[in-house]
Structure 1
Amino acid sequence: MKCNQLLTLTLLGLGVSAHAQENQCPAPVDSSDLVLREAGSGIEVKALKTEVEQDRLAEFVGKVQIISDSAQINAQQARIDKVSQQLNASGNIRYQDEQIKVSSEDVQLDFQSGELSLDSTEYRMLGINGRGKAERIGLSREKGIELEDVSFTTCPAGQEDWQMVASSITLSPGDIWGEAKHARFYLMDIPVLYLPYFRFPVTDQRQTGLLFPQISSSDSTGLSYEQPIYWNIAENYDATFSPRAMVNRGVQLKTEFRYLTQQHGGQLDLEYLQHDRREVNEDPRYFYRFVHKGSFAPGWQVNFNINGISDDNYIVDLGSDFYNRADTHLYRNAGIQYHTDNLSFSADIRDFQLIGNHPDSYRALPELKLDYVQPWFANVDFNLHSELTYFDSAEKNAPAATRFHIAPGLSWSRFENWGEFVAETTLLQTNYRQQDAEVYGLEEDVSRTIGRARLYGGMTFERPGSWFGSDITQTLEPKIQYLYTSYQDQTNIGLYDTTRLQNNFAGLFRGQEFTGLDRISDTNQITLGLTSRFLDENDQEQFRLSLGQIFYLSDNRVLEAHKDTNRSALAGELDWRLGSKWFVHSEVQMDSASSKLDKSSLSLDYQMSENKLVQISHRYVRELSGEQIDQLGVTASWPINPNWHWVGRWYKDMNSHRTIESYAGVQYESCCWSIQFVTQRYLNNRFDQTGGQSTNTFESGIALKFIFKGMGSGNTARALLNDGLFGYRQPYFLNE
């Protein structure tokens, strides 16, 4: 009876990751009715009638039950010959262990050799949906297991949409690989694949072999076939090689290498195309990416993120698993960090590769930061922020600079359930050493000293109320902040890492108008904000409205921060749970002087379940880099019936009155197989020789994917949803 484990391992290897659909596929059978003996207690035989002949022959008739510590056999009759050490059972045989059930016409067991043989069998996996037939199943301690004329499928009985049939399957003891001979794969009773010999894993461990191919077609690549080949190098190392044949462009090789140790982990990706048929030049095209994270000592961490491509159009033409055609930079960062409860230190190199004709940005080579916090007394903390950075640019007409910044400060804070109060004062000292400064109208050595003071307070008031007939708790949360920053002329400092920030409601209380440190605006201002929430009986947020604005008490003298009005744009945010499935999210910024809308976003979500949702969204920006953005979008995922599922996305540019992106995917999924078909059309955005991007050329493509459920597949419906709904996000999650 010890050989049953070999049988279990082999058949489990054929049926890993099977998936049953709710209300359609039969639920996996469990083994709760299996009763076994204690380990080492031998075999127990029960029957309605027993005959024993001189302690050498025993016959059992009627509801025979043979129980060991690992398996159980039920039969109509059984015979045990103690001289030949043979057991024979027949008549409605039922074999079962913790992971499989087998029905058979006849069972023979040799106690001396441990060989077990079952004839004319039907088996079913326990815990997953996997079943099949075998003309004979033989097991032994020395040879292992052999299944003759065996079939396997994950489909329910009478609905065998696909199945595998083999003349024999064998597994040697201790081997994690099984061998199949003359294997045929059938789809709807139609043979689609024949393999005279192949090996397959019999455990859920990672194993070397072929993964499911990816078939697609687009205007750029033509028909494309990608075949991933997985190599399980070691327990903590693996690699995937993916040759990709494209009718229009040639053969590309994509590789992925992953590693994981106790302290470190990372991934190296390389893609290479020797010659692109659609390109005039003969230069190879490539992409590389290296990501690493690790720890080499207590408190110390190291990370790398290095990316590069051969040309601006690589991602546009060939696609990418890591970037999209809208990206303008590929980042190349490397750094180390150290953290304790009071101290944090980082040393980073921040570089990048520009894509297309975009203004070059400064690289930080390197950037050193040190932050220190020390509690003193009575809620007073001492804070110190410092950084040392060398800036360089690939542009010939751009100065380089070294910047040292140190900002000691004191802060007092108090946080209660009913409110919070913060008082801060900081001294900001920055020194610059700028190269070739006179050529650019700058000074070589600049010292800038600025003082800053901040007072912030917020309170929370609550009262009971009613909301559409339901009892709720309404909150009123006023906030006020006073910010003062002294002035110093900064026109003699270049712009190295500084741009203007956009203000939403949270940004009103940020206390700064620029990224980086090259411009620190003088401020004398008061910020007012008000938030109101409606909470139901379970303290779940049903509604939230926030409004805020900055009032300038004096004009800015820093030129880049100059304003024509005495107040900022009015910023508002709205989150509203219209019901258990309806959600509204909106952000608005309105110019106070002209009463014109500067920026807005609005989304209406309906989400009945994980795969049943619709989102309608609108985005508007009055001016962004000299252009106006006005886009309307619809995103949806919806089951057509229990087997068919549809996802789609559509975006229209309201200014040009044209569709800029459309995507549709449909999937058929049964208990045991699925097929996905995707079509899409989008702006090509290809770069010309000068680095400019086309905004009038569109790209179209289709993709097809077929999956045998239970042969290394996962949740295909969720995968289609993730692939299809680019960037779909429910805009907020209240109390979740």
Structure 2
Amino acid sequence: MKAIKSPSNLSIISAFKAATFQHCMYYNHLIRIPLFFGIALPIAAQEQCLAPLKPFENNGLANGDKIVVQAEKVEIKQDTIAEFNGKVAISNRNALINAERALINKDSQELSAEGNIQYSDPSIQIDSDNVDLDINDNRLQLDNTLYQLRGLPGRGKAERIVLSEENGVELQDVSFSSCPVGAEDWHIQASAIELKPGSLWGTAKHTRFYIKDVPVFYLPYFAFPVTEQRQSGLLFPQISSNNRTGLSYEQPIYWNILPNIDMTFSPRYMTRRGLQLKTELRYLTPLHTGEMHLEYLNNDQEDENLDERYFYRFSHKGYLDENWSVHAEWNDLSDDNYITDLGSDFYNRADTHLFKTLGMNYHSDDLFFSAKFRDFETIGDHPDSYRSLPELKLQYKAWESGLNQLQINSEVSYFDNNEEDAPSATRIHIAPKLSLPYRTSWAEFLAETSLLHTEYFQDNIEGELDSHASRTLAQVRLYGSMSLERPASWFGQQVTQTLEPKFQYHYTSYEDQNDIGLYDTTRLLNDVVGIFRGQEFTGLDRISDTNQIALGVTSRILDKNNREQFRLGLGQIFYFDDNRVLEASKESNRSAIAAELDWNISSKWTINTEIQVSSRSEKVERSNIALEYRLGANKLLQLNHRYIRDISGDEIDQLGVTASWPITHNWQWVGRYYRDMDLNRSTESFIGIQYESCCWGMQLVWQRHLSNRFDALGNQSFNAYDSGINFKFVFKGMGSGKSSRTLLDEGLYGYRRPYFLSN
């Protein structure tokens, strides 16, 4: 069988004219059917109920830009008509047409094929009754077609598909659905769909949207994207209802400004509050990325004292070069109750501060430098936090010889406060540290000695504070740990058991610090890890005098794949001297005993606990316990309890239950309930039901929770409740994916997997 090659870059017409009839004929172009329905919208990964198509293969029939026609039998009539019969295959590297028979007329420049016609390419597969190609007009026609998208859920019918170089693609009397055959919960029917050559958009005429066989929506004309490029248009609306906003309808409108810049406008109408506009602008460059959000309500119909309500947010991350990076986060809102009344995608009603941060970092092997401006927007009647304008930090590895290392940590910060009578300060801190680290595969030892010198220049002071305060402290730290292991048996399984003791001696000299204000300092909480910090405060305004030793031990059970099945950790600090720094004073020569337990009881059951027991009263000071039963991603039951004996004079005693369970194959139920045991009342109730099928999904959620609103004086009320209903609906294959992504995450507390074991 001899193959004759046509000249390069010939059109399909000239290729046919140049070719002689052989069992195999090569020419340069075959019209390729493009991806023709609006499937280029982003679709999340999801279960595909349509039988997946096999990846496209051309079986090596064509190489390069050539096209091959093969058949079991060929007959040439009067050197004008070539008739191919039996397993006819017309292919190039991008597409393949299979048929039982094909006929080529050299004089009329026409090709026709019939009998089990199937067109395939990497994007689509089409079954047709017959194919006709007019070579003079470069026009390809397929009649009575069935198509299915390859790699995406989508299929349909078309009475006729016509392709031409001049007009592109036209589909007549076409339907589309992502539902499987025989279970069309929804489908779209259009009289015609047209795709012009080179256009990013297709057009549809007389489009009807059906649920089952009932028409529910009609559009005489609309346009849709036909490429993988993002396109402007409408996104799915969001519908909800609660006693703060009333019935809420939000309609996102997407604007693809540039390939690296887009924007979303989301008008939101609330029956109780009026019309709100939400906008989101995103940008991306090779070195920078960021987002800007603005929400604006011109006139709140519910509260006549609030003429304008707004929230804005700006975030940015970027690199100036391989060493320099920049970042920013800036948030602000109009009033204390904005988040409680209107909601937020970034904060919840329990938050008390919004961040405002601008920063720049430099990082190399021996040097780290950061310059940061930090501010806060305080929500409610909370003391204003100090802002640092700026905060400069420098860490420099000045010397290294053998195991010895000399590192210098330094900081310059200026602190200011919105309160008129609050002091302000400039803080200069330098701390050279000499360390001797030693590590092996089973042990670690570290010896450190530091000198901490801090200067404060304070303004607007009163009482014991000094305009110039200076403090110099010496610090010594000795730390050691080991990791021992042995083979063991655990419930009949061969495992590895570890024993990991650790100790730390920490000494810090004393100096009176009452002449220094508190600018960025709060007390830290000690857990099994925290007892080895050696410092009891954040920031530098208070450095407690210490002469103490911390002891801890952890034991783990590792299975044959080195996965943790069990972990028990204990730790406690022993004080040799009483603290003289007042803020760090204690009533005992020992800290509370800190313990943690994480246990994968079985493949279904896990228990996780953290607890701190006072060594003086032998009472539980803090605890967090979670028990979870899990059969799968959407089959779980979680019981958790949180207890704090004293936090700002209040006791926290909360019990929570979270459950998620399938009702049937398509229906799932999620519930959550939290109760304040001290006040004997619920804090949140949450019930959600969800339907998820191959081609559509919906969620219906009811929620009741404490409102946490602020009054005119900024005091927060915890006695009133808010309740509401949220509804979400999505048609899959039309720009949306699985609808269950956030059902467990929604609500005040949300779902968290309560484990610390390594997976």
Name the TM tier (shorter chain). Answer: over 0.9
In the alignment, which residue of structure 1 is the partner of 2:69? 44
Percent of residue pairs identical: 57
Q: Is the 8 A contact 1:181 1:195 kept in 2?
A: yes
Q: Is the 8 A contact 1:90 1:106 kept in 2?
A: yes
Q: Which amino acid aligns with 1:580?
A: S
Q: Is the 8 A contact 2:438 2:445 kept in 1?
A: yes
Q: Which amino acid aligns with 2:580?
A: R
Q: Is the 8 A contact 2:71 2:86 kept in 1?
A: no
- In the TM superposition, 1:59-458 aligns within 5 A as 59-437=83-461, 439-458=462-481
Q: Is the 8 A contact 2:58 2:91 kept in 1?
A: no
TM-fit CA distance, 1:3: 8.6
Give the one of 11, 34, 41 matched to 1:8.
34
Give the one of 451, 473, 491 matched to 2:514.
491
3-state SS of 1:315 partner: helix
Matched, 1:508 2:508: no
Q: What CA deviation, in whole Å up to 9, does each residue of 1:398-434 have, x standing for no partner?
A: 1111111111111111111221111111111111111
Moved more, 138-147 or 610-619: 610-619
Q: Which amino acid aligns with 1:195?
A: L
Q: 1:74 to 1:444 in 2, by over 3 A?
A: closer
CA RMSD of aligned residues (A): 1.9
TM-fit CA distance, 1:146: 0.4
**What 5-or-longer segments of structure 2 have no aligned partner?**
1-11, 13-27
TM-score, length-scaled by structure 2 = 0.93
Q: What CA deviation, in whole Å up to 9, does each residue of 1:698-726 have, x standing for no partner?
A: 11111111111111112322243333684
Q: What CA deviation, in whole Å up to 9, does each residue of 1:60-109 have, x standing for no partner?
A: 44544434444333334332111001012233332223332222222210
Find the aligned partners of 2:121 and 2:692 in 1 and give their Cα distance.
31
Q: Is the 8 A contact 1:546 1:573 kept in 2?
A: yes
TM-fit CA distance, 1:18: 8.0
Q: What CA deviation, in whole Å up to 9, does each residue of 1:207-246 have, x standing for no partner?
A: 1000000000010000000000000000110000000000
TM-fit CA distance, 1:606: 2.4
TM-fit CA distance, 1:299: 1.0
Q: What CA deviation, in whole Å up to 9, does each residue of 1:305-360 have, x standing for no partner?
A: 10000000000000000100000001111111111111111111110111000112
Q: Is the 8 A contact 1:337 1:345 kept in 2?
A: yes
In the alignment, which residue of structure 2 is the partner of 1:611? 634
Q: Which amino acid aligns with 2:656?
A: G
Q: 1:266 to 1:192 in 2, by over 3 A?
A: same
Q: Which amino acid aligns with 2:343?
A: G
Q: Is the 8 A contact 2:38 2:734 kept in 1?
A: no
Q: 1:47 to 1:473 in 2, by over 3 A?
A: closer
**What 5-or-longer segments of structure 1 have no aligned partner?**
none
Q: Is the 8 A contact 2:29 2:67 kept in 1?
A: no
Find the aligned partners of 1:19 and 1:526 in 2 and give their Cα distance.
52
Q: Is the 8 A contact 2:39 2:735 kept in 1?
A: no
Q: What CA deviation, in whole Å up to 9, does each residue of 1:549-595 have, x standing for no partner?
A: 11111111111111111111111111111112322111110111111
Q: Which amino acid aligns with 1:144?
A: G
Q: Which amino acid aligns with 1:543?
A: F
Q: In the comparison of the two structures, how many residue pairs are matched?
A: 732
Q: Is the 8 A contact 1:648 1:725 kept in 2?
A: no
Q: Which amino acid aligns with 2:314?
A: F
Q: Is the 8 A contact 1:12 1:125 kept in 2?
A: no
Moved more, 459-468 or 582-591: 459-468
3-state SS of 1:720 partner: coil
Give the one of 681, 695, 703 matched to 1:658.
681
TM-fit CA distance, 1:696: 0.9
Q: Is the 8 A contact 1:130 1:153 kept in 2?
A: yes
Find the aligned partners of 1:21 and 1:418 in 2 and give their Cα distance.
46
Matched, 1:686 2:709: yes
Find the aligned partners of 1:68 and 1:448 in 2 and give their Cα distance.
81
Q: Is the 8 A contact 2:41 2:225 kept in 1?
A: no
Q: Is the 8 A contact 1:4 1:97 kept in 2?
A: no
Q: Is the 8 A contact 1:402 1:433 kept in 2?
A: yes
In the alignment, which residue of structure 2 is the partner of 1:624? 647
Q: Is the 8 A contact 1:605 1:614 kept in 2?
A: yes
TM-fit CA distance, 1:517: 1.1
3-state SS of 1:632 partner: strand
Q: What CA deviation, in whole Å up to 9, does each residue of 1:160-209 have, x standing for no partner?
A: 11001111000111112101011111011111211111110112221100
Q: Is the 8 A contact 1:29 1:128 kept in 2?
A: no
3-state SS of 2:527 partner: coil
Give the one of 18, 21, 25 matched to 2:47.
21
TM-fit CA distance, 1:503: 0.6
Q: Which amino acid aligns with 1:701?
A: G
Matched, 1:561 2:584: yes
Matched, 1:715 2:715: no
Q: Is the 8 A contact 1:664 1:724 kept in 2?
A: no
3-state SS of 2:746 partner: helix
Matched, 1:600 2:634: no
